[in-house]
Structure 1
Amino acid sequence: MLSSIWDTILYKPLLNALAFLVSIIPGGDVGVAVIVLTILVKIILFPLSQKSIESQAQMNLLAPELNKIKTSGKSKEEQAKLTFELYKTHKTNPFSGCLLVLIQIPIIFALYFVFFKGLSFENGLLYSFIHIPESINMIFLGVIDISQKSMVLAILAGVSQYLQAHFMPKPAPTPSGSTGSFSDSFAKSMHTQMKYIFPFIVAFIAYSISGAVALYWITSNIFMVGQQIYVKSRREVGTPTFTKNYSVGEK
């Protein structure tokens, strides 16, 4: 049942979209179709991922006040109350970023499996109004066979993943004299791994599967870099003004 839901809601729509794109792109260049489809999906997910980026940036701006609360010496209940008040005042949801990322995961995995399964358009999964492309060209721009492993695309996938992690909002620094909480340490550790370790994992996976998957990853990462720069340039998340000293609990 879950497999049927997966195919109906996610896998089949993406596969059919790719088949349609291949049929209208001159020469049936699957590589170009992969890029276009990835961009279209990213545009659809743009509001969700944008909110996630802004939420992380806002959390970093609130970090100094959160640290004041943690080091205020108040009881856990009072700290929780002040923390909730801080979030409410600045209209910040600390979990919104995580929730929005979780919403995107099934879509991203479905897109990934469209490429992973070999881009077969003759398995009965196409809608009645979607025709099998007359020409299917796996040689991207006449240069790289994306049906095979590609070291060049795999390296570019790893590099683009590094750039994507580099432009991500960085965890707030721990104040001097403070060891920081477990969540702070975990966030910093994850950021370091995403920046310096995950690119190698992405490059390895991209090379192990096919050039199509690598091309998807490259396009996705470049789009995310552009989105992060765009969100930052808009400066929708300004520096908040704190009218209350949360370290002493003034009202």
Structure 2
Amino acid sequence: MLPALWHDFLYTPLLNLLILLYNGLAFGHLGLAIIYLTFIIRIALLPFTVVSERSKILYEKLGEKIAKIEHDFKNDPVQKNEIIRQVMREHRVSPWAKVLVLAGQALILVLLYQVFVGGINGKLADLYSWVRTPDFINTNFLGYDLGVRSLLWSGIVGIILFLEIYFDQRSQGSPLTKSDVFYQIFFPLVVFLILWTLPMAKSIFILTSLVFSFLIIIVRQRIKIKIRIADNKIEIEKVKSG
């Protein structure tokens, strides 16, 4: 039952969408088709991304209040966590939206692995009748085979991920903890090692997703600046009226 649902409602639609893009917008370039597919997936997940970024901005604004709660209830972790959850509920801060975005991307990674394992040309029998079957899938992208692992492209992903985490952490304006530094170095390294064992197509997917995330970070920073300016104006008005 579950294998049939996976094949019919997840794997097959993704494969057909990828080949549709390959036949059309990508002009027979599988690497471009993967890039387009990634942007389509990220746009589909955009509502959850917006909720996640909104929650992140609100959480940063609540930083002082949460820090005070952690200090006041440091000896009572149960009460501390309950009060923090209550504060987050009051301000409608949802941690689950980001989980859904990451889960969605992880699902696509698994499906892409299934598409490429054993060679994509052997999977064309699963195409719908209305999808044109290419005579042969060109897996070459910028001189590299998308179906085999690549030290270069997995390394590029690791470096870009490190830079994204670096700038994201410093944009929060708070001092970095040891765990922050550990995460900044260890997580990109683990991602690099994992991608190095997988077909290069996964690196292209994650790299494109990181570019999309960079755009989201830029938008979030602009929103934070506007919020900060608005808050300063409110404080100035309060001082004047007082």
Shorter-chain TM-score above 0.5? yes
Residue 156 of structure 1 deviates from its aligned partner by 0.9
| TM-score between both structures, scaled by the size of structure 1 | 0.73
Contact 1:23 1:134 in 2 (8 A): no
Contact 2:30 2:141 in 1 (8 A): yes
81-90 or 22-31: bigger deviation:
81-90
Q: Which amino acid aligns with 2:196?
A: Y
Q: Identity of counterpart residues, as a percentage?
A: 26
In structure 1, the residue corresponding to 2:130 is in which secondary structure?
A: coil
Q: Within 5 Å, give how 1:114-153 maps onto structure 2.
A: 114-116=115-117, 118-120=119-121, 122-141=123-142, 143-153=143-153
Instruction: Look up the match of 2:188.
Output: 199
Contact 2:31 2:139 in 1 (8 A): yes
Q: Which amino acid aligns with 1:90?
A: H
State the Cα RMSD in Å: 3.4
Tell me how far apart the structure 1 counterparts of residues 115 and 182 of structure 2 sit (CA, whole Å): 27
**Larger helix proportion of the pair:** 2
Deviations 1:6-60 (A, max 9, x none): 2233222111111111112465111111111111111111221232132123212
Which ranges of structure 1 fall in alignment gaps of 5 or more residues? Answer: 175-184, 242-251
Q: Within 5 Å, give how 1:69-218 maps onto structure 2.
A: 69-72=69-72, 83=84, 86-98=87-99, 101-102=102-103, 105-116=106-117, 118-120=119-121, 122-141=123-142, 143-168=143-168, 189=179, 191-218=180-207
Which ranges of structure 2 fall in alignment gaps of 5 or more residues? Answer: 232-242
Residue 210 of structure 1 deviates from its aligned partner by 2.0
Residue 221 of structure 1 deviates from its aligned partner by 1.2
Contact 1:16 1:130 in 2 (8 A): yes
In structure 1, the residue corresponding to 2:131 is in which secondary structure?
A: coil
Deviations 1:167-209 (A, max 9, x none): 44678858xxxxxxxxxx8xx73x4444211222222222222
What number of residue pairs does the alignment pair up? 228
Tell me how far apart the structure 1 counterparts of residues 174 and 18 of structure 2 sit (CA, whole Å): 43
| TM-score between both structures, scaled by the size of structure 2 | 0.75
Greater relative contact order, per chain length (Cα 8 Å cut-off, separation 6+): 1
85-94 or 69-78: bigger deviation:
69-78
